[in-house]
Amino acid sequence: MRFFSTAALVAALFATTVIAGMEQMAAVLPSCALDCMMTSVSQSSCEPTDQRCLCKDAHYTAVLQKCVVSSCTIRESLMANAGLGKDMWTLPFDNITHVLYVYFWDELLYLSILPLTKISICCFYLRIFPSRTFRTATYVAIALNVCYLVAFVLISVFQCRPLPGAWHRWDGEENYKCNHINAQGWAAAVLNMILDIFVMVLPLRQIYHLNLSVKRKSYVICMFSLGIFVTLISILRLNSLIHFASTTNLTWDYVTVGYWSTIECHVGVICACLPAIRSLLRRVSPRLFGDTEPVKSSYAMNSHSRENGSRSAGIPAQSKSAGREFYPLDEVDTSDEARLHHPYPV
C-alpha cells in the first residue's frame, strides 16, 4: 500500500513539474511557436517530455523549423529559441539592427578600397613604363576601376528603398523594396576578380623584357605572386557568398564574409605598397636588400663617381636597339635629389 502511495506521489510530482515547465514555456514562447511544437511532436517518435530525445531528433527539428518560418514573424521566430539560429537569437533586436547598420557602411568601404587599391597600382605603372600602348591600356584599367567604384557604391547605397531598409528589413515587419542582395554580391565579386587579373597581367610583357639580375627579378616575381594571392582570396570568398542573402542567422553567417573581405583588402594594400617597402628596407639593411651584383644592360646610366661615395641619380637612357619605350623597373632612383635633376616623364 505504501509502495502505491509513493508511486502516486512521484507521478504527481513529475506531472506537476511537466505542467510547470509547459506553463513557463508558454509564458516565454509566442503562441505560433507553441502550436508548431505540438504539431512537430506528434510527428516525432520521442515523448513530448523527453527533451534530450527531441533535441537529437533531426526530423523533429526540420519540421519545427519549417513550421516556425511559415507561421511566425521573424521576431517571433527569434523568440522561439528551440535550438535554431543560436547566435542571432541570443542578441536583442536592437543589436541585430545595429550589426546590419555597421555592415552597411563596411560594405561601402570594401567596395571603395578594392578599386582604389588597383588604381594606385596602375598609377605606379604609369611612373615606370612610358610606352604609349602600355599607358593607354593602363588608363583603360583605371577607367574600368572608377566605373566599378561608382556603380557598385551607388547600387549598395540604394539597395533598399527607402535607405533604412538595408538594416531594418531583417524583421520583415516593414514593406521595403530591396535588390537581390545575393546576386549583387556575386556580380561585384566576379567583376572585381576580372579587374584583379587584368591589372596583374598588365605589366608582365614589360617586365619580361627588363634586363634585371636574378635577385631583382625575384623581388618583382614576389610582388606579382602576392597579387595572385589576392585573386585566390577573392575566389575563396565566393564560397562564403552562397549563404550571403539566404541566411536565417545573420550574425553568424556574415562573419565568414567579413573575414575574407578584410583579408582581401589588407593583402591588396600590401601588394600596392611593396615597391616602396623595398626602398625602405634597403635603407634599413642595405647589405640584405641593396644591390650586390652589377646588371648587364643595354641601357646607359648617367651616374656620379662611386669614388666620391655618391650614389647614382641617373635614369637609364632609352635603348634604340631594343625598340621599346620603358625604363628598367628596379634601376630608377626615387630619391628627392634624383627627381630634381631627372624628373619622371608625365
Cα–Cα distance for residue pair 169/161, rounded to 1 Å: 10
d(CA 139, CA 33): 59
Summarize pLDDT for 5-46 with one digit per residue, the tens.
444 433 443 343 344 444 444 544 556 666 777 777 777 777
Checking if the pLDDT of 143 tops 90, the result is: yes
Structure confidence at residue 48 (pLDDT): 67
CB atoms within 10 A of CB 261: 23
At residue 195, the pLDDT reads: 93
DSSP code string of 206-235: HHHT----HHHHHHHHHHHHHHHHHHHHHH
Q: Which tens digits make up the pLDDT trace of 296-317?
A: 443 334 334 443 444 444 444 4
> What pLDDT is attached to residue 299?
37
Residue 9: per-residue pLDDT: 37
User: Residues 33, 72: contact at Cβ < 8 Å?
Assistant: yes
pLDDT at 155 over 90: yes
pTM for the full model? 0.60
Q: Stretch 122-146: mean pLDDT, rounded? A: 92
- The partner residues of 178 in beta bridges, in order of sequence, read 160
| Grid coordinates belonging to 186 | 556575386
CA–CA gap between residue 17 and residue 65 (Å, rounded): 26
* Nearby residues of 68 by Cβ (< 8 Å), 6 or more positions away: 32, 33, 36, 77, 80, 82, 84
**Which DSSP category does 307 fall into?**
G
Whether the per-residue pLDDT at 216 is higher than 60: the answer is yes
Q: What angle do CA 203, 207, 209 make, to 5 degrees?
A: 130
Q: What is the pLDDT of residue 117?
A: 93
196: amino acid identity, one letter:
D
> In this model, does residue 107 exceed pLDDT 80?
yes
* Closest of 222, 336, 316 to residue 271, by C-alpha: 222
135 pLDDT above the threshold of 90:
yes
Q: Which of 110-124, 187-201, 216-230, 302-316 has the lowest mean pLDDT?
A: 302-316
Helix axes of 181-201 and 93-128: crossing angle, nearest 10 degrees: 20
Please enumerate in sequence order all residues whose Cβ is within 8 A of that of 139, keeping only pairs 6 or more positions apart, or say none: none
Give the mean pLDDT of 134-139: 94
Torsion-angle region of residue 141: left (phi > 0), alpha (psi -120 to 50) or beta?
Answer: alpha
CA distance 3 to 5: 5
pLDDT score, position 174: 76
* Helix or strand run (H / E) with residue 177: strand 177-178
Residue with cell 549563404: 243
Q: How many other C-beta atoms can be found within 10 angstroms of the C-beta atom of residue 57? A: 19
Compare 154 and 223 and report the one with higher pLDDT: 154
Q: Is 70 exceeded by the pLDDT of residue 328?
A: no
CB neighbour class for 96 (10 Å; exposed up to 12, middle 13-18, buried from 19)? buried
Task: Render pLDDT for 256-283 as a digit per residue (tens, 0 to 9).
Answer: 788 888 888 988 888 888 777 777 877 8
